[in-house]
Structures are given as structure tokens and as C-alpha cells.
Structure 1
Amino acid sequence: MTVSQQATVPLEAAGQRFDQALAALFPAYSRSRLADWIKRGQATLDGRSVPPRTRVHGGERVALAAALEIETPACAEPIALSIVHEDAHLLVIDKPAGLVVHPGAGNRDGTLLNALLHHAPQLAALPRAGIVHRLDKDTSGLLVVAKTLPAHTALVAMLGRHAVERRYAAVVEGVLIAGGTVTAPLGRHPVDRLRRAVREDDGKPAVTHYRLRERFPAHTYIACQLETGRTHQIRVHMAHIHHPLVGDPLYGGGLRLPRGAGAALAAALRGFRRQALHAEQLAFVHPLTGQALAFQAPLPADFQGLLAALRADAAGADR
């Protein structure tokens, strides 16, 4: 993949450094990447390679002629993808539960990243094959993937300023009386490297809004809206207020069968072996076209089955 673009330095930029003027002319690319291209002679001023601190006068011709290097040295694998949307700049994927997003210790292949490289080999030239945010392995639902470097830069910036709306469906232990907001900073667990924890002194700010959808005798079906996007955020926040997600192996504290639960509900809860969390809605402004986009992912079969069992058991209890 190559980048080949030209522009003219505006007169009002006179006196700026070359790297500053370049960043203003090509905002789709990160400052660090543009600085690297200047150093490599792949960003020129009036046809010459110049240092980043060179002052511009206005009216000069700027040219980018850069080859994007392979940034994701992973193997492409023919793994089926559920593609909700695709255009020249981005993909929206409905990820099934059980699929790891990015290779790591113990998961070197068979991931969403491997599947993306098979679907669109050019993604190897992008950081993390265009993946700009993640879902946990056992969380299902929507995530957006960049297909071009300008889209990648823009989406990362949008996520950083919370300009991507993400809504989740969840089933939690216990009966919530009303919706609310959890504001609790998150960081690494002090002992368990696989977990995150509320850390009041040194955690990163994290805010989760939740509202009620349906109450059952011992559970609540809720919708969660992320204001920030920390690792395991919803899972930790709901456990923090003593309403962990059903089936959560890290934060749920083990299987809890409510008193008086029928055999069907008990079987459904025993058989639900992941956190009951689904990324159901993704909405944002397209970073290149400016079009407002919104996507929905239906609840997967296991999640629907859990809700059906909860409803049937609640109906039986009402009689």
C-alpha cells in the first residue's frame, strides 16, 4: 500500500515548521507517522528533503510519496466473518462469542485479526490490521475496523474523544431498582494480571451508564452505555455495585442459582458459560464521508435462550 498526495502550503502558514504545516495539510495521518516520512525523505518541500524544523514561507509544494510497511506480521486464515457493513474505508463486524480479537499469549492464531487479513490482505499495512477497539473473547457483538490509514487515524481519534456511541445488552445478578451511572476509575488488578479492578488512587477514569429493560425474580436485563472504553469496564463496574454479569468467569463469583428457580432456568444458568454481554449498537459519523452511521446486532441465540428461560421462570413464579 502506498501514499501519494500533494498539496500547497497556504500563505497563512508562513513561519510554521515544516512538520507543523504538514500535519495541518494532512490531518488524516498521525504526527508521528508524518515525522517519520519527513526523516525518510518521503515527505518533501518543493521537491527537496528538508529537516522537520524548516520554516515554511507559504506557497511551497508539498508531496507525500510513502510506502506503508507491513505492521501486522500475522498469518491470514479463512475464518468466516459476519460483516454488517463494508466500504472502501472501514468494516463493521458482528463478532461471535468465543472469537479472540487479537493474537496474544495462548492465542497465536484463530483470531479476528487472522480472519481480517484473509478477507482484506492490505490490512497488514495498518497497525493491528485496522482494529481500533476490542471486545473480550466471550463478549459478542459489533466492532469497527479501519481499512485505510486515514480511517484508522480518524477512528482512533474519535474513540479518544468519545465520539463513537457503543451500547451493550447485559444480564446481571440481582434485582436493580432503577438505572444509574457507575463512575469508578479502573486499572490493573494488584495481584491477578488477567483482571482489572477499581483503583481510586491511580486508575484511569471510567464511566458506565445503565438503564433497566426487564426485571426478573433474581436477575435484571439492562442496557449499558459506555462513556469511556476501559478493558473489562462494564464487567468490573457492575461487579463493583454488587450486580455482576451472569456467567462472568472473572468477576461473577461463580454460579448462583436463585432460590426457587425451576429446572429449566437452573439448566439455562448452568449452561450459560460466558459473561452475558453483547455489543448491540454502534453509531458514529463516517470519518471520511461525514455520513451518520448506526448499526444494530441482534442478540445471539445463547443470549436469547437465557432471556427466554428467565421470562418463563418469572411467569411461572407469578402464577
Structure 2
Amino acid sequence: MNKHTQLIRPVIEALQQRNLLSVSLSGSTLVINGTSGDDSIGVGVIAGSGEIIVFDNDREFTFDRADVRYIEIDGGSGDDGLTVSRGLKLRTTILGGSGDDAIRGGNGTDSIFAGRGNDRITGNSRGDYIFGGDGHDIIYGSGGSDQLYGQEGQDKIDGSDGNDHIEGGAGNDDLDGRRGHNTILGGSGDDDLLGGADQDDLEGGDGRDILSGYGSDDLLLGGLDSDTLYGDTGNDTLEGGEGPDDLFGDRGDDEIRGGDDDDSLRGGSGDDYLDGGYDDDTLLGDSGFDTMLGSDGFDILDGVDSDQDTLRGESGADTLYGDYDDDDFAGGSGYDYLYDEDDVLISRG
């Protein structure tokens, strides 16, 4: 090397790491993988062409409709918008990943796993499987018989049409079955369960829950802790379970059981059957020909309206109130007080 030779040294710069969204066809499965950023992914059908189009952030991809039988979308992390068109009736799996995502399924059977974050998920007309994951999620089942799981967080779930299975999971959840024969489980937390217009099965689980059957003949199970149960219209079955519960049959011929602890039972209109269960309970028959059993504990039984009621104090020191009609009294074991209009009877068991 002489004095005229210039020494050239290479300059090495760090390359910026890029997260590229990928779209590919694996066999008959359309696979779409998002990035760690905020992605906007849409899958639809080009009208009249028989082609599937994928909108991937600022890019477009097309595939022959005949080549695609399944769709898999993984949004990755970030706040993503993931949408499958209602015009697609393909089995679809969607992973939201972490982040606050907005996810909408297509018209096929969807399996949606929203992942961590406060997500908004909407199914469609077929029976969908939706899992909210960790976070405060909003889930709409839309049409079809769906299986909807809120999992962790304070979730709001609306089954809409169809015979749905709804579970709130951990957290204080708001669960609404709406139309169809629904099964709704509150899980842990203080939950609000509403059955809807048709025959529903509701179970509160752990926590202080509020259960409303709404229409038709419903089954309401309070579970643990202090719960409030409303049968509303229909011939309902209400069971308080453990904890001091408030149970209201409302309209219809209802069967109401308090269970453990000090419960309050009210039959409402109709010919109701009330059983206080263990501990010190208060039973109010209201209108109709009601049958009331105090069972164990120091109970208060009141027929309320002037209908022909049957009152049984059973064990414990009970107080029984009839009214102006021909009521059937029995104090049972214990030192009981029986009131029938203007008369007071004392039963020593």
C-alpha cells in the first residue's frame, strides 16, 4: 500500500427490526399472522368473482374461493381490528392476542380466543365458541347456539338468539341470555344473570349474585353467598343454596327453597310451594293457594292474602299467620304461635 492508496473501512449499521404481517395458503387453510403492532385485518368475498380478498393493513391479497376451506387469523399483540365478512361461511379460528381488540366472526362456525386485554367480540349466525380471556370484555353471540366464556375480568355477555351456554368466569359479570333456552353460569364474583324470554337455567356460583328468570319456566340456583333470585313470569324453581338469600317467585306457580342460612322467600301471585330450609327464615305466600314449610329454625310464615294456604312450621319455635280464609295450620315441634284472623293459638309441639 503506497501513500496514494485510500483506506476504505466498512460502516456497519444496525438494521431496524420489522414485524411483517404474513398471509399465505397452507393446504386448504388461509393463514393470516398479524404483528406486534396495531393491525387492521379484514377477510371478505369479492362479489361475482368467486375470490376471497384479505385486507392486511395497507395491502390486499386474493385467493380462489375453491382453494380455501378454513381460515386462521392470529392478530398478535397490539390493539387489533379483526373482521371476517358475513358473506363467508367458512370455519374460522381467530386469536386476538394481547391488546384491546375488536373481533367480528363470519357466517361459519367461529372459534375466537380474544386473549389478554379489554376486547369486544361479536359472533355471527352460526354456533360460535368465544373465549374472552383476561380483561374486561364485551361479547355478543348474535345468532346460533353459542358457547360464550368471559373468563377473567368484569365481562358483559349477550347471547342474543339461539340456545346459548354462557359462563362469566372470575370477576363481576353481566350475563344476558336473551332469546332461546339458555344455560347461564355466573362463576366467581358478584354477577348479574338475566335469562331472557324462554326457558332458562341460571346458576350464580360464588359471590353475591342477582338472578332473574324473566319469561317462561326457569330454574334458578343461587349457589354460595348471599343471592337475590327473581322468577318473574312462568312456573319457576328457585333454590337459594348457601348464604342468606332473598327469593321472589313473582307470577306463576313457583317452587321456592331457601336452603342454608336465614332466607326470605316470597311466592308472589300463583299457587306456590315455599320451603325455608335450615336456619331462621321468613316465608310470605302472597296471592294464591300456597304451601309453606318452615323446616328447621325459628321461622315466620305468613299467607298474606286471603286465600286458602297450608302452613307448616315443622321443627323450631315458629310464628304462623293465616288470614280471612280457611287456612291449614300445623306448628310442628317447638313452641309455636299461630295467628288466624283474630285468633291466637299456641302450640307446644
Same fold (TM over 0.5): no
TM-score range relative to shorter protein: under 0.3
What is the TM-score with the length of structure 1 in the denominator? 0.25
If you compute each CA radius of gyration, which structure gives the higher value, 1 or 2? 2
Q: Which has the higher contact order (CA 8 A, sep 6+)?
A: 1
Which protein is richer in helix relative to its size?
1
Which protein is richer in strand relative to its size?
2
